Amino acid sequence: MQTASSSSSLEKSYELPDGQVITIGNERFRCPEALFQPSFLGMESVGLHETTYNSIMKCDVDIRKDLYANTVLSGGTTMYPGIADRMQKEITALAPPTMKIKSYELPDGQVITIGNERFRCPEALFQPSFLGMESAGIHETTYNSIMKCDVDIRKDLYANTVLSGGTTMYPGIADRMQKEITALAPPTMKIKIIAPPERKYSVWIGGSILASLSTFQQMWISKQEYDESGPSIVHRKCF
């Protein structure tokens, strides 16, 4: 009785294009499994995950890291629920350990070890939906900002896009920005992403240079002035 009940709970009905309705059970799980274990179909070929792994390992060693971090599923066969998580699990099991785990020492001396989070967390900059946000990625935001500017200066902006701030210190982010914005921008535009080594402190450096200019001294605000007038003093002295 328990077996029959379990089998029934696996059943799901689908309507075909011709209007016919079919009901299937655990075939829903067994059929997709053939992507990972072709032997289910009497085939001797390797699974989808092994094919992906073998393809990456045949590429130049310098680009393997990027390939592991940017494996894209496409096609109707990849629409099975949970296939992305399964691919992640299977390829992680095959990939070299150095691709999976890395240790970092925090400012307090504590050492943490993380795996593919190193790639998944930065991806949220380009796909905020990973964090449940509906906003555009940094590449789309950059593109939209440029396209809102006067048409005469867009060429210069595309050719002089500067990354700054600690969040831009992820390895490979400049190349990723270059690729994404190139895909969005008009074909005739030359795209150049500038990523200075000291960009983690770019804002502070720029602010310190600006504050040291003699022409900026008239905009200086003392603590006493701010305490007396509040934020409005900024508008009075700086704008």
Write the DSSP assignment of 35-51 as a string of letters: TT-GGGGT--SPPHHHH
Confidence of residue 195 (pLDDT cuts 50, 70, 90): very high
User: Which residue in the block uniquely carries the two structure tokens 């592991």?
Assistant: 68
Strand 102-105 vs strand 12-15: parallel, antiparallel, or unpaired? unpaired
pTM: 0.50
176 burial (CB, 10 Å; 0-12 / 13-18 / 19+) is buried
Q: Is the pLDDT of residue 160 over 80?
A: yes
- Class (C level, CATH) for 24-94: alpha beta
Confidence of residue 82 (pLDDT cuts 50, 70, 90): confident
Among 6-20, 35-49, 105-119, 137-151, top mean pLDDT goes to 137-151
Q: Is the pLDDT of residue 113 over 70?
A: yes
Domain ranges of the chain: 24-94, 202-238
- What mean pLDDT comes out for the span 80-100? 81
Q: Is the pLDDT of residue 1 over 50?
A: no
55 vs 119, higher pLDDT: 55
Give me the pLDDT at residue 28, please: 67
| Token reading at 162 | 């500067």
Q: Is the pLDDT of residue 47 over 80?
A: yes
102 vs 157, higher pLDDT: 157
Confidence of residue 5 (pLDDT cuts 50, 70, 90): very low
Residue 107: partners with Cβ closer than 8 Å, 6 or more residues away: none
